Amino acid sequence: MTEHSRKNCAPPVSGRQPALVLGIESSCDETGVALFDATTGKVVAEALHSQIALHAPYGGVVPELASRDHIKYGLRLIDQVMRDAQIKGNQVRAVAYTQGPGLAGALLVGAQLAASLAFAWGKPLIPVHHMEGHLLSPLLADPAPAFPFVALLVSGGHTQLMRVDGVGEYTLLGDTIDDAAGEAFDKSAKLLGLAYPGGPLLAKLAEGGDPKAFAIPRPLLHSGDLNFSFAGLKTAVANEVRRLTGTALPARGAVSSAQPTLPVDHASRADLAASVQAAIVETLASKSLTALKQTGLKQIVVAGGVGANTRLREALTAGAGRIGAKVFYPPVALCTDNGAMIAHVGALRLAEAKQDYAINVRPRWALSDLRPVNL
C-alpha cells in the first residue's frame, strides 16, 4: 500500500469535508483501486495487483484469465484501500470505474463491482475513459502543467498526439496507422527472446547496447504530418534476428506465442534492443516536437506505459528544452495502469456522477468523443 501526498489538482469542492471518490481500474492486466479526495486533490490510499506473472507464460494477455483475476482481486483490493483510509462506504461520495477502452470481459468485472458497491451504498457512479485517466495523470505531479498543452499518449494500444484545452477538450493531432509504440516494444522484445510485457525488459537489455549498431527504419519520420507507423519495426527486428541466427522465423506475423530460444550472443541482443528503442524514441520525440511547433504550445505531457521509458524522457526533455518548451510526466508509478488515475478523473468529473446502475462498458471508445468539463 502506498500513501501519496500530492498537489491539489482536482476542482475544489465546496466546504472542507472530504469528497472521496473510489476509483476502480480493470481494463487490461492490472487491477487498480484508489481513493482520491476531490477536496484536497490528494490520493488518500491505493492498491494495485499486476497480472504480469499470470500472463507471462502465454507471451501476452489472455482475456479470459484477466477477467477471472480481476474477479479474484477486485473486492480484496477495495477492502484493503477502505481499511487503509479507515473509510466506510457511506463516507464515499461517488464510485468511478473504467468504462473503456479495453478488454470487454475485464471491463465488465470492474463495472459490475463499481455498480454493485455504489448501489449498496446509495452513491452515484462515474464512468471513466481509461485514456483520459492516463492523459490527466501528469496533473498529479508537482509541478503540474496548466491547460492548454500537447499530450503524447503512448501505451500498449495507443500512440496519439493530442491538443488538450481542458478536461474533456481533446483534439487529435496525430495517431498510429498500425501498431502502437508499446506494441512495437512488446513485439520486438518477444523476437529478442524476452518475456511479456517486453517494453521494460527491452529497455533494460538496451542499456548496454549500441543504438547505432543496426539500421532500424523510422517510418513516417519525415511524412510532414503527426502520424506514426510502427508495424515495420517488428519485421526489421525479425530480419536481423534471422540474419544473426541463420534460422528462419515463422513467416507470417513472425511473432509466436512461445518464447523463442535465441542462439544470439548477449552483446548483439543488447545492440538490437538499443537500436529498436532508439528508432521508437526518435520517432516519438521528433513528432512530439513538431506538434509543439505546429500548435505553438510550450508544454507537453507524456502519459501511458511507454512514458516510463527513460530514453524517451531524456530525448523529449532535451528536444523540448531546445525550443523553450517544458515536458511533464506523471510519477513513474502512475505511467502504467492504476486506480489513482481513474479516481482522479472521477473527482474531476464528480458533477457528472449519476445514480444510474445500468452497466454499459465501451471496449472501443475514442477520446475525442468525451464532453468538456467546466472547472
- By the criterion CB under 5 A, which residues form the site for Zn ion? 155, 337
Stretch that binds ligand KG4, among 55-63, 90-98, 149-157, 205-213 (CB under 6 A): 149-157
Distances (CA, A) of 334 to 16, 119, 144: 27, 29, 14
Find which of ligand KG4, Zn ion, none residue 44 binds, CB within 5 to 8 Å per kind: none
Residues 6+ positions from 355 with CB-CB distance below 8 Å: 118, 122, 123, 124, 125
Decide: is 237 part of the binding site for ligand KG4 (CB under 6 A): no
- With H, G, I as helix, E, B as strand and everything else as coil, classify residue 298: coil
Interatomic CA distance for residues 322 and 16, integer angstroms: 43
Decide: is 157 part of the binding site for ligand KG4 (CB under 6 A): yes
Quote the least distance from Cβ 293 to ligand KG4, whole Å.
25
- Nearest to ligand KG4 of 304, 339 (CB atom): 304
Find which of Zn ion, ligand KG4, none residue 168 binds, CB within 5 to 8 Å per kind: none
Find which of ligand KG4, Zn ion, none residue 309 binds, CB within 5 to 8 Å per kind: ligand KG4
Contact pick of 238, 302, 306, 343 for ligand KG4 (by CB under 6 A): 306
Q: Measured at the alpha carbon of residue 307, what is the angle toward residues 254 and 367, in degrees to the nearest 5? A: 90
Find which of Zn ion, ligand KG4, none residue 211 binds, CB within 5 to 8 Å per kind: none
Residues 6+ positions from 230 with CB-CB distance below 8 Å: 159, 176, 178, 179, 180, 181, 183, 184, 219, 280, 283
**Number of residues near ligand KG4 (by CB under 6 A):** 20
Interatomic CA distance for residues 302 and 273, integer angstroms: 22
Contact pick of 337, 341, 345, 367 for ligand KG4 (by CB under 6 A): 337
Q: Which of 86, 79, 29, 34 is nearest to 53 (CA)?
A: 29
Stretch that binds ligand KG4, among 17-25, 105-113, 196-204, 234-242 (CB under 6 A): 196-204
Q: Cell for 325? A: 518548451
In sequence order, the β-bridge partners of residue 152 are 161, 302
Contact pick of 32, 41, 74, 182 for ligand KG4 (by CB under 6 A): 182
Find which of ligand KG4, Zn ion, none residue 157 binds, CB within 5 to 8 Å per kind: ligand KG4
Helix ranges restricted to H, the chain:
52-55, 63-85, 104-121, 130-136, 181-191, 198-206, 231-245, 266-295, 310-322, 340-348
User: How many Cβ atoms from other residues are within 10 Å of residue 263's Cβ?
Assistant: 10
Stretch that binds ligand KG4, among 74-82, 152-160, 257-265, 317-325 (CB under 6 A): 152-160
User: How many Cβ atoms from other residues are within 10 Å of residue 228's Cβ?
Assistant: 26
User: How many Cβ atoms from other residues are within 10 Å of residue 196's Cβ?
Assistant: 21
Quote the least distance from Cβ 338 to Zn ion, whole Å.
9
Find which of ligand KG4, Zn ion, none residue 185 binds, CB within 5 to 8 Å per kind: ligand KG4
Q: Which of 371, 344, 319 is nearest to 37 (CA)?
A: 344
- Nearest to Zn ion of 135, 254 (CB atom): 135
Interatomic CA distance for residues 62 and 60, integer angstroms: 6
Contact pick of 99, 283, 288, 336 for ligand KG4 (by CB under 6 A): 336
Quote the least distance from Cβ 242 to Zn ion, whole Å.
32
- Nearest to ligand KG4 of 19, 236 (CB atom): 236
Interatomic CA distance for residues 90 and 2, integer angstroms: 23
- Nearest to ligand KG4 of 31, 336 (CB atom): 336
Stretch that binds ligand KG4, among 70-78, 171-179, 191-199, 209-217 (CB under 6 A): 191-199
Quote the least distance from Cβ 304 to Zn ion, whole Å.
6
Question: Could you tell me if 142 and 148 are in contact, meaning their C-beta atoms sit under 8 angstroms apart?
Answer: no
Quote the least distance from Cβ 200 to ligand KG4, whole Å.
4
**Site residues, ligand KG4 (CB under 6 A):** 28, 134, 155-157, 182, 185-186, 197-200, 203, 304-306, 308-309, 336-337
